[in-house]
Structure 1
Amino acid sequence: MDAIKTEVCVVGGGPGGYVAALRAGQLGLKTVLVEQRALGGTCLNVGCIPSKSLIHVAEAFHRTKLQVSSSPFGLRVPGVSLDFPAALAWKDSIVGRLTGGVAGLLKKQNVTTLRGTAQIQDGKTCIVSSDKSPVRVEANHLVLAPGSVPAELKALPFGGPVISSTDALALHEIPSRLVVVGAGYIGIELGTAFAKLGADVTIVEGAERILPAWDAELTRPVAKRLEQLGVRVLTSTLARGLTDDGAQLLVASPPNGEPIALPSDKILVAVGRKPRTEGFGLERLDLEMRGAFVRVDDRCQTSMRDVWAIGDVTGEPMLAHRAMAQAKVVAERIAGLHTEFDHAAVPAVCFSDPEIVSVGLSPAEAAASGRQVKVGTFPFLANGRALSQHDEAGFVRIVAHADTHRVLGIQAVGHDVAELSATFGLAVEMGAALEDIAGTIHAHPTRGEAIHEAALGGLGHMLHL
């Protein structure tokens, strides 16, 4: 068996794993990255990037169809159609460009990439099996970045008409009838996209409203948009399984609701993700766990010396940019730099219609922590850029400490507000006060002006409302 001795061995080539390897390579550490499938992991190959590509296609198609007869500014576009196979080929080309880019970056930083399945032997050793001969990797530091997998429902195991988000992004045709089980961000994003592509979509959610992890004020515009799109939403409703012929989904409202059958061509189960903890020898390590997740500290150090963990396997929020931030911390700690992971300003984004962004504390979360707050909210219906784009749904909201005016959180719902997330994060990360934002000149006309106005509102002197 061939053997490699290295300073760092990273298991998993997703956003966390490849960034850890890149940064370690930049810092001069001899590094090996092990990836079973394609570089970029779930996010790049079957998650973030292809889903946002599909969302873009769906939005472009839907908006173009609307111009046939309902454009408020006189545009008419007759005869609209979509070549769905061509759209999928474009989506796949984007993924291919990015995976190729990751491979090139790793090569540039002299990272050795091994394609194959890792089997961890102990905190210093793993054996990588591939089509070629197995390789024994001995490392001073082991970085765990295995990612996560779609969560299944016992009553609806994947297979046949029951599909995961991964399967949904690989469909070769648009289903006529799609039932989405789960109204979290994955279910809402994909359900909305397929509705815009022409599918008859029904969303089933066990909680009392969609997007239950987000505060209700942010989700109302999304619920209204789903209604406008003709999406049927069944809340306080649980999936019970398939009918005997497998052609319909049985759902019921607890505790005594009568089951009803929902006709469907495909049933997308989107009830979240779970950490990938099996199949690579994690059980051979003596790690402290936090429920299903590996417990780590603010340096992403596990309970075993020189064993680190990053990304989805370490808990919520399961976000690619969180994993990347953790990855940078781990590589720098291994290199002897004194950095830590700060979770206070991790943006959460839902690419729904309209989009939702949240950084830091919401008003309810701030109140629950015992803080007295000032809240400033500015609607896009009073924003010139939003009006000129004919898309004024939503608002920006700033939560600040009542005494110091330090910004504790910023949230928004609206068209393209995901692009404001870095501004929100910077304000929270830098400990900005309302006066800092109010004193910053925001370009006109832009949606960013709503941030300025919300800060002025928190100070009690909003200008344009």
Structure 2
Amino acid sequence: MQNFDVVVIGAGPGGYVAAIRSAQLGFKTAVIEREFLGGVCLNVGCIPSKAMITATHLLHKAQHNFKEMGLNIKGGIDVDMKQLVKWKQSVSDKMSGGVNQLLKGYGVTIIKGDAEFKSSKEISVKSSAGTESVQAKYFVVATGSRPIEIPGFKFDEKDICSSTGALAFDTIPKRVAVIGGGYIGLEISSYLRKLGTEVTVIEAQSALLAGVVDPDCAQIVTRKLTKAGVNVLYGAKAKGQKKVKDGYEVTVEINGKDEVVKCDKILVTVGRRPNGDQANLKAAGIQVDERGFVKVDAQRRTNVSNIFAIGDIAGQPMLAHKASHEGVLVAEVIAGHNRVYDAKTVPAVVFTDPEIAAAGMTEAEAKAKGHTDLLISKFPFAANGRAVSMMETDGFVKMIADKKTHVLLGVHIVGPEASNLISEAVLAIEMGARIEDLALSIHPHPTLGETMMEAAEATLGHAIHIIQKPLKA
């Protein structure tokens, strides 16, 4: 029997952060992980996918932009897929190894195995070495989520894949059918297409990223995907698949009629489900809702006072940075700090080409919350010197503000480095900044960041580098 002050179940971006902060605060802390430190994000999700996206973005530039820049490559560029996957894995391994060093450096006990609650004060951990019991004053449930499987498409991670399998192809697939046009499906579709794969996206909605991002932003990405040769089937439902001599045939229903999509690999990206059915939460008396999420309050405390839940299992949005924020919060709550989860916005990023990033409200959300009179404007990357010099001019920065107060309500970016630009918007929204605060802050030139300043000026009606009609009084 081992005893701790704090035991964290799951070492993903929420769990390992909670463990480190708990140890920093002087608690005797343990983290339990059944697979790999850093969780899905560091090992088979966010980090490896960004590595593949980065590599193929550079490949695309070399193939399509270098000649215009005067950079001539003699002969073609050969892609060594095995080496690319090996390099991608090395990136993940470095990050996971860094988490291991941090945990050990702060004196966190790492326990490998599968955790199950026996009561609200005790868990059992099963591993290849056997089963051990662990007791703690406080538990933090950070068990994450898993890809949703759909009937007839059971994952083998070789031919019928979740994102995990799609990030580990050792040869470039010739034809891939992607079921689901959400952010995971489109990120992987983008990088596969740049490798030369024929990609067909099977999307149930009438538009890509519907309800996920600002429609104007989604339109830019859709247009570029189409231009790149990605085939998108809208209003389509994948009904089943069968193995044939040269791959697979996926039966797709569109407008009541069946069509067949031929492919070598099938990627299913219809979302993720929380792991509320794991770790025997009921034995501790923890309430789980019908969707599998653990019910928590503003301090991320469950209905059992000494047990907290963070990350994907604690509700939407299911994003790594939200989990990390909650990990710090919970450790500080356990330490007696006066903290609650009160973020005004959780930024979201889609690493397509171009990237999409958002903070705050969409136009529809703003109106639903009583902001009936809005100032909305866009500033295009085509009018930004740095974007032009990068040959990446697709997209814009869109700002939404309350017309009466000029308080910034939302920022939606589609374009180069959107993922890096959005942090300024997060800070502005959290501080309750007005549009003038952004417009009057001097931004360095020539940078992509200037688009934030100019979008604010455009929202006020007087951007310098675009021609605008005067705003109505």
The TM-score with structure 2 as length reference comes to 0.94
Q: 1:195 aligns with which of 193, 204, 208?
A: 193
Correspondence 1:107 to 2:108: no
1:20: which partner in 2? 18
Q: Aligned-pair distance for 1:223?
A: 0.8
**Would the aligned equivalents of 1:67 and 1:77 in 2 still touch at CA under 8 Å?**
no
- Residues 106-136 of structure 1: per-residue CA shift (max 9 Å, x gap): 1111111101111111211101122224221
Stretches of structure 2 that go unaligned for 5 or more consecutive residues are 467-473
1:124 lines up with 2:124 in the alignment = no
1:460 corresponding residue in structure 2: 461
| Cα distance in 2 for residues equivalent to 1:207 and 1:158 | 23
1:308 and 2:305 aligned: no
Q: Runs ≥4 in structure 1, deviation > 3 angstroms?
A: 243-246
Q: Which runs of 5+ in 1 are unaligned?
A: none
Distance 1:316 1:343 in 2: 13
Q: Is the 8 A contact 1:385 1:447 kept in 2?
A: yes
Deviation, 1:61, is: 1.6
Of 109, 124, 132, 1:135 maps to: 132
- Which residue number in structure 2 is paired with residue 424 of structure 1? 425
Q: Which residue of 1 is the match for residue 5 of structure 2?
A: 7
* Corresponding residue number in structure 2 for 1:370: 370
* Contact 1:181/1:269 (<8 A) preserved: yes
Aligned residue number for residue 319 of structure 2: 319
* Residue of structure 2 in register with 1:66 after alignment: 64
Q: CA deviation at 1:343?
A: 3.5
Q: 1:397-446 CA distances to partner (integer Å, 9 max, x unpaired)?
A: 11112221111111100011111121111111111111111110001111
CA distance in 1, matches of 2:55, 2:385: 27
Which amino acid in the other structure matches residue 358 of structure 1? Answer: A
Which stretch has the larger CA shift, 286-295 or 190-199? Answer: 286-295
Distance in 2 of aligned mates of 1:189 and 1:72: 27
- In structure 2, what is the equivalent of residue 47 of structure 1? 45
| 1:388 corresponds to | 389
Letter in 1 for 2:457: L
Cα distance in structure 2, aligned partners of 1:286 and 1:374? 49
Q: Secondary structure at the match of 2:32?
A: strand
Query: For 1:76, what is the secondary structure of its paired residue?
Result: coil
- Residue 244 of structure 1 and its aligned partner are, at CA, apart by 6.6
Match of 1:98 among 75, 95, 98: 95
Mean Cα deviation higher: 348-357 or 74-83: 74-83
Q: 1:164 is aligned with what amino acid?
A: S
Q: Is the partner of 2:68 in helix, strand or coil?
A: coil
The question of whether the paired residues in 2 share the 8 Å contact of 1:210 and 1:219 is answered with yes
Pair 1:350-2:350 in alignment = yes
Which residue number in structure 2 is paired with residue 331 of structure 1?
Answer: 331
CA distance in 2, matches of 1:464, 1:279: 55
Q: Is the 8 A contact 2:379 2:454 kept in 1?
A: yes
What is the rounded CA distance, in whole Å, between the counterparts of 1:244 and 1:166 in structure 2? 21
Alpha-carbon distance in 2 for matches of 1:240, 1:93? 37
In the aligned structure 2, how far is the partner of 1:304 from the partner of 1:135?
23
Q: Distance in 1 between matches of 2:248 and 2:94?
A: 38
SS, match of residue 259 in structure 1: strand
Query: Separation in 1 of the partners of 2:70 and 2:96?
Result: 42
In structure 1, C-alpha distance between the alignment counterparts of 2:342 and 2:322, rounded to whole Å: 10
AA aligned opposite 1:351: F
- Distance in 1 between residues matched to 2:174 and 2:54, nearest whole Å: 20
Alpha-carbon offset, residue 5 of structure 1: 1.1
Kindly, what percent of the aligned residue pairs are identical?
Answer: 41
- Alpha-carbon RMSD across the aligned residues, in angstroms, is 1.4
